Amino acid sequence: MPEPGDRVRVRTPKETVEGLLMPTPEYQADILVLKLDSGYNVGIDRKTLSSVELVSSQRDAHAATRPREQKKNLPLITVLHTGGTIASKVDYKTGGVVARFSPEELLGLFPELGDIAQVRSRLVRNMWSEDMRFPHYNLLAEEVAKEARARGVIITHGTDTLHYSAAALAFALENINIPVLLVGAQRSSDRGSSDAGMNLLSAARFIAANTGFHGVAPCMHASRSDDDCWILPPCRTRKMHTSRRDAFRPVNAGPLARVRHGEVTILDRSSHHFSQPGPFRLRPFQDVKVGLLKAHTNMFASEWLAYKGFHGLVVEATGLGQAPVNEIDAETKEHAKIRTALKELLAETVVAFAPQTIYGRLNMDVYQPARELQDLGVLGHLCDMTPETAFIKLAWLLSNEPKRVRELYAKDLRGELRERSEPERFLV
């Protein structure tokens, strides 16, 4: 008899359906559930079944994904595995999708890697990306630093916070002289529409091409189709959609390179990623507390004071760099309290603004309230960093350059700031 995980062909008087047999839902013994190649589940009333035919067993499918022998003449790429959707498969005990691939299983799932490079793979953590903390960035940076002999490193990572990790590693791995590409998947490998394989193989092809690129970058789908992947700037990229395969977009910038049907094209050779790197230094995050607060209407002073005792706070400011600190009538008395709370915060906490509009830059010289905020000590004037990158940068500066935070927050260190805004970069 077929078991959960086996591929079966089910016939009813009305249709023939093929897919993976899922566990019988609790309290619904009369329903047979299949996972279709699209990734979606379908329930079929067992009373309507004409036949259930075994197409292939789960055991046979597992054996087919064993890594083949690697070719010694190809460049060496190290895959550091952290989990996420790119490493997900169906748990046939629960019917859910979980991240439980070992590194060997990951290689077996994408055997095409063997035609591109020699692949060395190891598990660093098996975790969802929302569980990332600063010590995990340090751990990843330390593991990358061990790979000086490799042509490059691929880090498999959950997509939800992949852009945070890309920025964090860009700062921590100062002048790393090999490509370090973060790869995720919006749709798990058991789905026909999965982007896992193309993203991973594109990253490997980019590294193997030996373009002279060095540093950290995400590698993700450029469109909803399977035409090409982008190599994206690590400190100027953001996840802009919950589920689309092309969710990662460059913000106030363009992609660095494209991998299309295996062919690599450099799109921005002026990037510092192609210049001669200086001496490599591993500069990890320390035990700092940094918050991220969104300015909004009807705020209260208590929201700001919740960050008392933090080393830093990034505020997603409205417009060109505004926050509700003006008492203009009886209804805005709370704003005077917010101003007082901000002054209290600034006595011990670095407060920096970033644009919550995402695109564009702050100009805190335009309106009087923002000029007053600057006078109080708020940073961020002319900043065009995304809030996520601002959060990572402030934490890294507080960890490594605490006495120069005010100077360096407004200085471009990893391509996170640009001198001028280019109109054509809006919604790239």
Active site residues: 85, 159-160, 239
| Kind plus residue range of the DSSP H or E element containing 273 | none
Closest by CA to 88, choosing from 6, 233, 196, is 196
In 3-state terms, what secondary structure has residue 303? helix
C-beta of residue 219 within 8 angstroms of C-beta of residue 181: yes
Tell me the one-letter amino acid at 354. A
Residue 115: CB atoms within 10 Å: 13
- Of the candidates 331, 338, 324, 320, the residue with the CA atom closest to the CA atom of residue 295: 324
CA dihedral 132, 136, 141, 145 (to 10 degrees): -140
* Among the listed residues 180, 192, 113, the one whose alpha carbon sits nearest the alpha carbon of residue 151: 180
Distance CA 401, CA 285 (A): 11
Cβ contacts of residue 409 below 8 Å, gap of 6+? 350, 352, 379, 380, 383, 393, 394, 397
Farthest CA pair distance, the chain: 78
Tell me the pairing of strands 228-231 and 88-90. unpaired
What is the three-class DSSP state of 13?
A: coil
- Evaluate the CA torsion angle 44, 45, 51, 55 in order and state its sign: positive
CA dist., res. 314 & res. 303, Å (int): 13
Cα–Cα distance measured from residue 59 to residue 6, given in angstroms and rounded to the nearest whole number: 8
**CB-based burial of residue 381 (10 Å sphere; 0-12 exposed, 13-18 middle, 19+ buried)?**
buried
Amino acid type, 335: H
Element (H, E) at 290: strand 290-294
The CA–CA distances, whole Å, from 245 to 49, 183, 329 equal: 36, 12, 48
CA 243 to chain CA centroid, Å, is: 13
Q: Answer for the pair 321, 311: CB distance below 8 angstroms, yes or no.
A: no
